[in-house]
Amino acid sequence: MFPLLCVIVSFTLALLCVFAGSKPGFIEDAHILTLNTSRIGHFSKNISVQSDGSTGSSLLDGIKHNITSGINSIIGGAENIAGNIANDIAKDLGIHDFYTAHVMDFCEGFYKGNITRGVSMNVTSCSKPKGMYSFDPTAILQKELKKGVSLKDIKWPDAIQDGLRALSTAARAMFVMYMIGIATVGLMILTSLAGLSGSRLLSIVNFLLGNLAFLSLGIASAIATAIAIKSSNVINKYGADIGIAAYKGGKYLAMTWAATALAFIAALAWVVEFCLGRKRRGMTGGLSKQEAAGY
């Protein structure tokens, strides 16, 4: 029964890792990476984007006004840093405060709250899930920026796009390994149920399936971890000058590695079941009718 429980939990966690963030409200906090754009423009002195209005006023003037208003509100004792500074700049540019990358899609939204009560993530929408998905913040931001504003205007570093493009193949490989792992663990649930009869042959089959599940989920988890670390390092290195940052998804990484570990434990548990079955056979002087029929 113990190995069966391990397999069921592993299967559930692996599925959640793949489908997390498929729609707002569905564990969208289990993401591989978070791109924080709420403070974009705070550290760049050269953003000069013209608005689309006929007055010819600069969007930079509006951004500067928002920053000044935010600072003045802080000096005056206001607490809402996220609302007065972070959100306004992102909205002026037409983008969201954050973008979270998942296995099959991305979600976006705005931060809410203040420094004393805490800031939370309010997801407003998620893209349509698809297999072999690769997170591309450059294309996402370019699509959402206001008319007349380009990535070049906000000094978006080309190095970010180059660094993340190199990870697109890894993202596709990760998806394939997840599919293999989930299919194997799903099959293992069925063979584990049959293995409760005490068949030593099924113990061997479950051990082999457990090893395959552990290997495939382990590779998928390793790739996901590498993507999270590499992506966040690239974005933080080249995006600091324009005020963007990235963070690894701790909850997602914990879930995927837990699924991997449970598949490994299940495989070991079936080895124990095989040995115990052999020991029981030695104690009884041979196979029982039930064991003989199962073997």
Whose structure tokens read 């070991």? Answer: 268
Whose structure tokens read 């000044």? Answer: 68
| Buried/exposed code over 26-65 (b: 16+ C-beta within 10 A; e: otherwise) | ebbbbbbbbbbbbbbbeeeeebebebeeeeeeebbebbee
pLDDT of residue 262: 96
pLDDT of residue 28: 86
Contact 191, 204 (CB under 8 A): no
φ, ψ for residue 204, nearest 5 deg: -65, -45
Contact 73, 84 (CB under 8 A): yes
Average pLDDT over all residues of the chain: 80
Strands 106-114 and 118-126: antiparallel
Question: For the range 126-130, what are the long-range contacts, defined as Cβ-Cβ under 8 Å and sequence gap of 24 or more?
Answer: 126/21, 126/22, 126/23, 126/24, 126/28, 126/102, 129/19, 129/22, 129/104, 129/105, 130/104, 130/105
Contact 206, 195 (CB under 8 A): yes
pLDDT reading at 69 higher than 80: no
DSSP string for 47-59: ---B-SSTT--BH
Quote the CA–CA distance of 128 and 209 in Å, as a whole number: 32
C-alpha pair distances (Å), 147 with each of 47, 94, 144, 151, 169: 16, 9, 9, 11, 32
Per-residue pLDDT tens digits for 163-213: 888 899 999 999 999 999 999 999 999 999 988 877 888 889 999 999 999
Angle between helices 137-144 and 158-165 (to 10 degrees): 130
Size of the chain in residues? 295
Average confidence (pLDDT) over 148-173: 88
41 or 27, which is more confident = 27
Q: Grade residue 117 by pLDDT with cuts at 50, 70 and 90.
A: low
pLDDT reading at 132 higher than 50: yes
Per-residue pLDDT tens digits for 247-289: 999 999 999 999 999 999 999 998 888 787 655 555 555 544 4
Using DSSP's 3-state secondary structure scheme, residue 277 falls into: helix
Quote the CA–CA distance of 27 and 189 in Å, as a whole number: 24
Quote the CA–CA distance of 75 and 282 in Å, as a whole number: 81
Strand order in the sheet with 98-101: 118-126, 106-114, 98-101, 33-36, 245-248
pLDDT of residue 149: 84
pLDDT reading at 105 higher than 90: yes
Average confidence (pLDDT) over 80-103: 72
pTM above 0.75, yes or no: yes
H helices present in 84-199, as ranges: 87-93, 137-144, 158-165, 168-195
Please tell me the least confidently modeled range out of 29-33, 73-77, 125-129: 73-77
Give Cβ neighbours of residue 178 (< 8 Å, ≥ 6 apart).
Answer: 14, 17, 18, 103, 216, 217, 220
